[in-house]
């Protein structure tokens, strides 16, 4: 989880109670409040951030009582509980998995609630809502949104006489100048970290390519654009030698290679902003949106979580009131963003000066303007995880060439997509 601004937790509950007008429930029945069971895998500081919102909601009215329960391996436990008819009422939901699990009838559509309460979907990031949808059904509201951007060490870039890159060509030129090795060729400073094969889809967008065919039934990454991405990575790794696979891996907090100056630039997410501020006392860093590809194409991938109602819930109305209070109310969504150091899915909250006037948050919100979600197809998550990523990892390790990598990933990926296709 992200590092929290702990001071915000002290006074935020009182502020949230003032923003409680969204809920319909204002008085208790003689039978007592309705209990809402809320599951998520966020623990530690993340749990405290969640409890800040839960406690504020509970204090804002007296008809609903929400209880947050930390569940490790939450999705597996949720599926088992759903089958037994005793699932929680609300889940912190990885939006990426909606297309895979919503067709299994374990999540409850919220369309009727949106219509009844006249909630405008345009209040939220459209891509995040799309990721929470299957067909015409919407299965939740966006809790957080994120995207990768280039984090760079200002001191190292200034010393090398380079600017943050805006294109692939500038990225390569800067990475070469920033890389340092000793007399024996040992890598001391990496100009650009290439350590996350899961970002292939983002690079593919920048190259003008697509992960799947328009109908979502076949892979489309075994293409000139896909080959261009891997060839560019190969150039950076094996010709320019700006990075070595595994360099700095396993080091975190104060020993993180970006914090210690071993990595000059690399893709990272907003969850690390406060970590770098906390542990990098001498680190002066900046952030810029992802560089454009060779044809000028912009590409970024939106990720994040939502809150979802479960189909097995016996208290859907109460669960919805909790979700609506938290995520549709822009004041509460903004407080959530400040409390958790996340970008909320509520656009009104994101347009607040807290995000738009901040030198670290602004490049991320600028990136989110053109970021798109990964394909919302049932077979996409297993296709990426089981077919594409393992093959690209072999490529980065020098165990197979680019063409073979794409071909093998295509064959395995097409089979997985077919196996998971809705009947």
pLDDT tens digits for 285-295? 999 999 999 99
Percent of the chain with pLDDT over 70: 92
DSSP 30: T
Q: Give the pLDDT score at 280.
A: 84
3-state secondary structure of 406: helix
Does residue 26 surpass a pLDDT of 80? no
In contact, 71 and 40? CB cutoff 8 Å: yes
In contact, 205 and 299? CB cutoff 8 Å: yes
Does residue 222 surpass a pLDDT of 60? yes
Q: Residue 388 and residue 197: Cα distance in Å, rounded?
A: 9
Q: What angle do CA 27, 32, 34 make, to 5 degrees?
A: 85
Does residue 20 surpass a pLDDT of 70? no
pTM over 0.85: yes
Identify which has the larger pLDDT, 83 or 309: 309
Does residue 104 surpass a pLDDT of 60? yes
Average pLDDT over every residue of 140-155: 98
Q: Give the pLDDT score at 253.
A: 76
Average pLDDT over every residue of 174-179: 98
CATH fold match for the domains 8-146+303-368 and 149-301+378-419: yes
Q: Give the pLDDT score at 31.
A: 75
Percent of the chain with pLDDT over 90: 84
Q: Residue 170 and residue 154: Cα distance in Å, rounded?
A: 16
Domain parsing of the chain, residue ranges: 8-146+303-368, 149-301+378-419
| Superfamily per CATH, domain 149-301+378-419 | Periplasmic binding protein-like II (3.40.190.10)
Tokens of 381: 């998550």
Q: Give the pLDDT score at 85.
A: 82
What pLDDT band is residue 422 in, cutting at 50, 70 and 90? low
What pLDDT band is residue 11 in, cutting at 50, 70 and 90? very low
8-146+303-368 classified as CATH 1.10.1760.20: no
> Which residues are CB-contacts of 405 (< 8 A; sequence separation ≥ 6)?
230, 391, 392, 394, 395
Q: Residue 415 burial (CB < 10 Å; 0-12/13-18/19+)?
A: middle
Does residue 79 surpass a pLDDT of 70? yes
What pLDDT band is residue 6 in, cutting at 50, 70 and 90? very low
């Amino acid at each position: 989880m992200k590092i929290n601004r702990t001071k915000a937790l002290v006074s935020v509950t009182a502020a949230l109670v003032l923003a409680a007008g969204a809920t319909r429930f204002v008085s208790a029945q003689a039978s007592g409040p309705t209990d809402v069971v809320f599951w998520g895998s966020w623990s530690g500081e993340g749990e405290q951030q969640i409890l800040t919102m839960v406690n504020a909601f509970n204090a804002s009215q007296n008809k609903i009582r929400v209880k947050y329960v930390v569940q490790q391996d939450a999705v597996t436990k949720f599926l088992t509980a759903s089958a037994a008819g005793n699932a929680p009422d609300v889940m912190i939901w990885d939006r990426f998995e909606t297309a895979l699990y919503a067709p299994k009838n374990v999540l409850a559509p919220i369309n009727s609630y949106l219509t009844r309460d006249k909630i405008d979907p345009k209040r939220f990031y459209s891509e995040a809502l799309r990721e929470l949808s299957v067909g015409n059904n919407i299965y939740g509201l966006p809790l957080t949104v994120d995207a990768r951007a280039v984090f760079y060490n200002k001191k190292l870039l200034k010393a090398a006489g380079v600017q943050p890159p805006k294109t692939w060509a500038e990225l390569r030129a800067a990475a070469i100048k920033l890389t340092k090795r000793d007399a024996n060729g040992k890598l001391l400073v990496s100009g650009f970290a290439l350590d996350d094969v899961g970002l292939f889809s983002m690079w593919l967008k920048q190259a003008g390519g697509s992960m799947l065919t328009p109908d979502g039934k076949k892979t489309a990454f075994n293409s000139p654009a896909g080959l261009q991405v891997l060839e560019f990575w190969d150039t950076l790794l094996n010709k320019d030698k700006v990075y070595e696979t595994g360099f700095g891996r396993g080091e975190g907090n104060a020993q993180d290679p970006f914090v210690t100056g071993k990595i000059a630039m690399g893709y990272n997410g907003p969850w690390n902003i406060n970590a770098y501020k906390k542990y990098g006392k001498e680190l002066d860093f900046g952030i810029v949106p992802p560089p454009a590809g060779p044809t000028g194409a912009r590409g970024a991938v939106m990720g994040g979580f939502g809150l979802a109602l479960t189909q097995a819930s016996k208290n859907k109305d109460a669960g919805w009131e909790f979700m609506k209070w938290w995520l549709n109310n822009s004041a509460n969504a903004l407080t959530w963003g400040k409390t958790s150091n996340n970008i909320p899915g509520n656009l009104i909250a994101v347009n607040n000066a807290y995000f738009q006037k901040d030198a670290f948050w602004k490049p991320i919100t600028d990136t989110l303007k053109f970021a798109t979600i990964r394909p919302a197809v049932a077979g996409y998550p297993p296709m990426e995880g089981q077919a594409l990523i393992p093959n690209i990892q072999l490529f980065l390790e020098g165990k197979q060439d680019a063409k073979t990598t794409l071909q093998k990933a295509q064959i395995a990926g097409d089979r997985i997509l077919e196996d998971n296709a809705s009947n």
